[in-house]
């Protein structure tokens, strides 16, 4: 199973759509607080449709708490616009974690500096970055594709 991590997500419909992506891909969604909304938010559930109650969902107070619970053999990949390494260069494995930051600010520079070799980007023309749910879909399905080739 793959793991998608959203650190401090801010926009409920993005998180709802990402929940749908995780359901479709058979991935677990990890939400690291504080969240910018309540999990009871109607727009979150609307975007997640009737799948939300079936979602494999874990909530964490901090990213450190998540790190402490992860299997030792799992890799963490950090998606950012501040890397030159394309997401398809990663060799995704079962139980890996794909980590995304808040919509308005991305992952903290300190976290990226500590994990530079695991930072990935979705190449795009300069300017505004992609929507979070789109970015998760692109990266998650590359990981799914790689794992299906291994089966």
Amino acid 2: pLDDT = 97
Amino acid 38: pLDDT = 81
The pairs formed by 62-68 with CB atoms below 8 angstroms and a separation of 24 or more are: 62/32, 62/33, 63/5, 63/7, 63/32, 63/111, 66/5, 66/30, 66/32
Amino acid 129: pLDDT = 82
The Cα 144–Cα 141 span in angstroms is 5
Task: Centre a 10 Å sphere on the Cβ of residue 110 and count the other Cβ atoms it contains.
Answer: 8
CB 47 within 8 A of CB 25: no
Amino acid 79: pLDDT = 98
Amino acid 43: pLDDT = 66
Amino acid 47: pLDDT = 60
Chunk the chain into consecutive blocks of 10 residues (it has 151) and report each block's average pLDDT, rounded to whole numbers: 97 91 96 88 64 88 96 94 96 97 96 97 87 97 90 54
Amino acid 151: pLDDT = 54
Structure pTM?
Answer: 0.94
Second-level CATH architecture of 3-150? 3-Layer(aba) Sandwich (3.40)
Amino acid 62: pLDDT = 97
CB 4 within 8 A of CB 18: yes
Amino acid 40: pLDDT = 77
Amino acid 82: pLDDT = 93
């Amino acid at each position: 199973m793959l793991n998608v991590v959203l650190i401090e997500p801010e926009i409920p419909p993005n998180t709802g759509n990402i929940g749908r992506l995780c359901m479709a891909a058979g991935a677990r969604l990890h939400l690291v607080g504080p969240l910018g909304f309540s999990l009871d938010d109607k727009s979150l559930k609307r975007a997640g449709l009737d799948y939300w109650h079936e979602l494999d969902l874990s909530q964490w107070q901090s990213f450190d708490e998540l790190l402490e619970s992860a299997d030792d053999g799992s890799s963490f990949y950090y998606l950012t616009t501040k890397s030159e390494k394309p997401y398809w260069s990663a060799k995704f494995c079962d139980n890996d974690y794909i980590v995304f930051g808040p919509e308005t600010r991305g992952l903290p520079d300190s976290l990226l500096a500590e994990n530079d070799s695991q930072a990935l980007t979705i190449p795009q023309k300069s300017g505004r970055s992609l929507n979070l749910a789109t970015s998760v879909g692109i990266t998650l399905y590359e990981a799914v594709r790689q794992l299906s080739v291994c089966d």
